[in-house]
Structure 1
Amino acid sequence: MPPVRKPADPAVRLDSVSRTYGRGPAAFTALREVSLDVPRGAFTAVMGPSGSGKSTLLHCAAGLDRVGSGRVWLGGVELTGMGETALTELRRERVGFVFQAFNLVPALTVAQNVTLPLRMAGVRVERARVAQMLERVGLAGRAGHRPGMLSGGQQQRVAIARALVTRPEVVFADEPTGALDTVTAREILDLLREAADDLGQTVVMVTHDPVAAAYADTVLFLADGRIADVLERPGADRIAGRMTTLGARA
């Protein structure tokens, strides 16, 4: 049966999603009946204490992890029940990923790392498109360099270009500034903000940093596997204050 497609749906939808790891007394429930819609073209940040379910939510939404119960849609396509091959193809073609560790291939050049998702999907690589993407992230003169010749911030720029080059439904970013200094982190966050504003890209970012979360349109707060609060365009001070009371109010 082909995947169910709902053309009017948001970029990401979770409906009563739960995820438990392990069995018996050692079982841990990371998500508990989570429902949410992420609008297309929006920049959404996900925050919460350690163990609140942030990364699990991102992994379930991106099809990297199976839900225990509930349903997940990405770009109007239901992921629940899809086979591994179909999920792999969907992630390759319709999802971009940015991680704290960059995850670049050391032996490949910058341009080759950026085009890797296209080549794996069997899509013809357009040099002009790659050049435009590298210029957008400030690496126009670095196409032939290898990751080891770049700073941490430059490597993360390569990762962002790689995530955007397929024009994905959603870019999922998991602590993308966690390994960077403050100035470089702000440059990376500016790029993600510009992707949403200029390209209409949907971005979902997990972060522990209130300053990073303040770049988003919406901030979701998780506690004990549930959505405890949602703030629209809050400042860093308000986000930090909400984090300090999250346990008490959740």
Structure 2
Amino acid sequence: MNQAAVRLRSVTRSYGKGSSAVTALDNVSLDIPRGTFTAVMGPSGSGKSTFLQCTAGLDRPTAGQVFLGETDLSGLSEKKLTLLRRDRIGFVFQAFNLLPSLTAAQNVALPLRLAGRRPGRSDVLDVLEKVGLRERAGHRPGELSGGQQQRVALARALVTRPEVLFGDEPTGALDTTTGREVLTLLREMVDRGQTVVMVTHDPVAASFADRVLFLTDGRVHGELLAPTAEQVAAHMTGLAALPC
């Protein structure tokens, strides 16, 4: 087995107090091996977003521990946690979040500039080439298609060489064909050693992953390995039929 890129140990996240408290994650323990593609699915309100936020260091669990490699995130100050997210984690969201006044290359270089590092042009062009957009380096977002903008966002997430890339519905705003192109790109990156964790509602998107984790009521309710879209859809239908 690959060494774990991320480990969760008895992670619980609750909001509110007393009788109005809501438990979004309930005692979740699991490992995400390095160099694998994990999809996270579940009904609305199942805890997917909270899982992503706690795992990526965007939110702190109420109880339990999250490890990135050997680093225990619960022991970090807010400043150190911010630096860890900047240097060791990449994010891709449904919204592309590109700055319209900057070129593709400038958008990709932005995380390095914000970290006080001078981005090498060759490094920026290399990561744009990985997503198939080296020739569009000088174009602004308004001159790119939605799929191209998401690939620029993907390049921006990868330029810091993150240990783990987290995606929150990264193909949610794309049409079917363009979405598959982005998913194929993610799959190729995993096959080259990148670790990807993606929240999605789409069984086809999940079928690109090595493993699908299913959440319901804040707990892991099964998983599929080497899934097909049909298997994922059937499992989701089963979750929807569970008693509340």
TM-score (normalizing by structure 1): 0.93
Q: Distance in 2 between matches of 1:142 and 1:136?
A: 12
Q: Which runs of 5+ in 1 are unaligned?
A: 1-7
Q: Distance in 2 between matches of 1:20 and 1:53?
A: 11
Q: Is the 8 A contact 1:10 1:76 kept in 2?
A: no
Query: Could you report, residue by residue, the CA deviation over 1:4-37 in whole angstroms, capped at 9, with x for unpaired residues?
Result: xxxx951000000000112233321110000010
Query: Could you report, residue by residue, the CA deviation over 1:196-233 in whole angstroms, capped at 9, with x for unpaired residues?
Result: 012x0000000000000000000000000000001100
Amino acid at match of 1:133: V
Q: How many pairs are equivalent? A: 242
Do structure 1's residue 170 and structure 2's residue 164 form an aligned pair? Answer: yes
Do structure 1's residue 36 and structure 2's residue 12 form an aligned pair? Answer: no
Q: Which residue does the alignment assign to 2:62?
A: 68
| Residue of structure 2 aligned with 1:221, choices 210, 214, 217 | 214
Q: Percent identity?
A: 67
* 228-237 or 115-124, which deviates more: 115-124
Amino acid at match of 1:82: L
Change (3 A) 1:85 1:123: same
TM-score (normalizing by structure 2): 0.95
| Residue of structure 2 aligned with 1:143, choices 137, 144, 151 | 137
Q: Which residue does the alignment assign to 2:150?
A: 156
Correspondence 1:1-250 to 2 at 5 A = 9-198=3-192, 200-248=193-241
Q: Which runs of 5+ in 2 are unaligned?
A: none
Change (3 A) 1:25 1:107: farther
* 110-119 or 235-244, which deviates more: 110-119
Please state whether the residue corresponding to 2:139 is helix, strand or coil.
Answer: coil
Q: Distance in 2 between matches of 1:211 and 1:244?
A: 14
CA shift for structure 1 position 94: 0.4
Q: Is the 8 A contact 1:29 1:225 kept in 2?
A: yes
